[in-house]
Each structure stands twice: as structure tokens, then as C-alpha cells.
Amino acid sequence: MNITDLKPALVWRYFHEITQVPRPSKKEEKILAYLKKFAEDRKLDYSQDEAGNIVIRKAATPGYENLKTVILQSHVDMVCEKNNDTVHNFDTDPIRTVIDGEWVRAEGTTLGADNGIGVAAELALLDDNSLEHGPIECLFTVDEETGLTGAMNLAPGFIKGTILLNLDSEDEAKCLSVVLVVWVLLQLSTIPQRLHLPTTSMAKSM
């Protein structure tokens, strides 16, 4: 089985594509170029601030224009670590993924699911025109792993929404089905104080 055989297919397709793009902290130029091309190919509005952060906007489905704008946020850089016997250049080489039972892992390196799976979920949402939703802003921040400098230097007014869902977590018990959470939030005109959903692990990684 390959990673692109996993479900939900669109999320894993984009996660695979992200693993093929080098994205060390402070060297995110290639993944940022990938995001810009993604937006341009789909005629989606996007902006980039001086820190390097990118926001891609998708208009509401007709009839959902009055819903509040939801911001989905993930970071594009990854922790770059490898085993002593692994030959890998994180500046140039793609990540080699492996399906190992219930786990998705990488051959001799970190996988980059932190926060690649969040980026992939956002891209899947932006690319799926079958979903009904309110206005969306997908925020992709840089340099999270070495100081949160992207988020800390986010330009004032760069994002317009007032509801933000961060798609990054190190607690497996909190790794809800990201697509399900997003789908629910985007269709609510009033956001609840708590949202209880069954937990499912979307990606298990180093």
C-alpha cells in the first residue's frame, strides 16, 4: 500500500505532495512557491506578508455568504532529523514515506506530519468544490519549529476572520479527524464553546 491509497484520499494526496517538497525551518521558499502555484492554478485569492506567511482565501458557497469567516492555520516548516546511518539532504531531498501497519512513517528521517497533515487538510478543503461552506481563510505560517517567527510577525490585518482553528497538536488524544472538525465549523453560524467529536488519529509519525 502507498500513502496515496489512504483515506480521505484528497488529504493524503496533498500530504504526499508536501513530502516531496523540501521545507526546513527558515528555508521554506520551495513550499511557499508550491502554495502560490496551488492558489494560482485554482484562481484562488492569496496574499503573502513580509514574514513569508501566506493566506489563501476561498469564497463562501452560494447561500452561505452570511456565515462567519473561519481561519484554518498550520505551519509549513518541519523538524529535520535523520538517523545516523541515513543519507538525506533536507534542503533538496523528498521524504520517503512508508506504510507500516497502522502507522505512516518515513525511512530514516522525520516524517513532517507536524504540521504537514494540517497543511494537507487545508489544501484538500480548498480543492474540494463539493463541500458547502462559509468564507474560508487558510493561513500557512513559516518558521514555527525554531521560534514561531512567522506567527509572531504576522502582519496586522493580514487575516480578516475572527474564528481561528489551529490544525497543529502534539497530543494524539487531541488529533481529531481534521476534515470532520473543519466541515462542522464551516457550516455553523454560531460556534459552540465546546465541540465533542470522536477522536481518530489521522497520522502517526515521529
74: left (phi over 0), alpha (psi -120 to 50) or beta: beta
Active site residues: 77, 144
What is the predicted pLDDT for the residue at 172?
55
- In the block, cell 514515506 appears at 97
Confidence (pTM): 0.85
**Average pLDDT estimate for 173-185:** 50
pLDDT at 197 over 50: no
Q: What is the pLDDT of residues 3-21, one digit of tens each?
A: 999 989 999 999 999 999 9
The helix/strand/coil state of 121 is helix
State phi, psi for 157 to the nearest 5 degrees. Answer: 80, 5
pLDDT at 182 over 90: no
Q: What is the pLDDT of residues 40-85, one digit of tens each?
A: 999 999 999 999 999 999 999 999 999 999 999 999 999 999 999 9
Beta strands in 49-135 (DSSP E): 54-58, 70-75, 97-100, 103-106
